[in-house]
Amino acid sequence: MISLSFLYILVGLILLWTAVLTLLNKEQPRRFASASFWGCYALVFLIGDYLPHEVVGLMVVLLALLAGFGALSSAVPKMLAPEQLQLSLTRIGKKIFLPALLIPFITVFSVLVLGLIGNDSWRLLDPKNLTLVSLGLACVVAFIAACWLTRESPLQGGIEAKRLLEAMGWAVLLPQLLATLGLLFNNAGVGQAVAVLTETYLAVDHKLIAVATYAIAMALFTMIMGNAFAAFPVITAGIGIPVLIMQHGANPAVMAAIGMFCGYCGTLMTPMAANFNMVPAALLELKDQHAVIKAQTPTAVMLLMCNIFLLYFLAF
């Protein structure tokens, strides 16, 4: 059975490859520190389940220190000559989008078709993580298609993966760290504290105020956490369930769905969501690293206002 471990090993090997290439590149500044960062990150994926929790914790602290002290560096990419680039673009044309389009198509196909292969005792794809496993499988197929389409070797694909990872830098850590932080906040009782503050200082007996409080809190906490999935359990436990559901009788399904959309509005307006807002600015080499956030903020504010009214009219 192809399980989630397949994805962990795949990601770990890419990170380990990046570490090796960094270490071997004598022209790259701070190559030992950068190689240590990518190597530690790779080991977390490859053998993290077999290491003591304390060791993994120390490795995470080391990653944070290396990133915080600016130890990461990027190699100077070797670009194709303009003539070669134009020739390649002319030959491939619009087919260049094929590998990217294969990812969603194969993911859906794997979920709907390959996910059904097997019986009660055996499955081709892990049913507990079917979507993620399907996505990983789709990425492998898309990578093979990209190599075939561009007539490049998998080695060149690995070099390009290293270049993209270095462009993203420490931001690749944020999704995991922020999701973990959300779990810690929830277990620490932050949701209960939010409930006490809300019921003490806001007039949540009024339905519209209660709805606006929940929606805005989802957006603001997402801006702090950088992840709507991390904010959702905290704000829903503190405001959604006790106020909207228990007090005003909101439909839980509608509240949860629109509440997540409110969180996504916050995602558009925060640098903490680095994988959405900071990484694109870095990859596009924009002079203003917050240019993406500035462009998205007006839309995010309008969407948040619309979500407040949708929640008010549809959830009750």
* 184 shares its domain with 55: no
Residue pLDDT tens, the chain, 316 long: 778 888 888 889 999 998 998 888 888 888 888 888 898 889 988 888 888 888 888 888 888 888 888 778 777 766 667 777 777 777 777 888 888 899 999 999 988 888 888 887 788 888 888 888 888 899 999 999 988 888 888 888 888 888 888 877 777 777 777 767 766 776 777 767 776 777 666 767 888 888 998 999 999 988 887 778 778 888 888 888 888 898 888 899 999 999 999 999 999 998 887 777 877 877 777 888 888 899 999 999 999 999 999 999 998 8
Would you give the distance in Å from CA 251 to the centre of its chain?
A: 29
As to burial, measured by CB atoms within 10 angstroms (0-12 exposed, 13-18 middle, 19+ buried), residue 278 is buried
pLDDT recorded at residue 303: 94
Amino acid (1-letter code) at residue 225: M
pLDDT recorded at residue 195: 67
Is 159 domain-assigned? no
What's the total number of domains in the chain?
3
Q: Are 23 and 11 in contact (CB under 8 A)?
A: no
Measured over the CA atoms of residue 202, residue 208, residue 211 and residue 216, the dihedral's sign is: negative
pLDDT recorded at residue 215: 92
pLDDT recorded at residue 106: 92
Q: Which domain-ending residue is among 68, 99, 119? A: 68
Range of the domain at 237: 174-314
* 93 shares its domain with 181: no
* 179 shares its domain with 267: yes
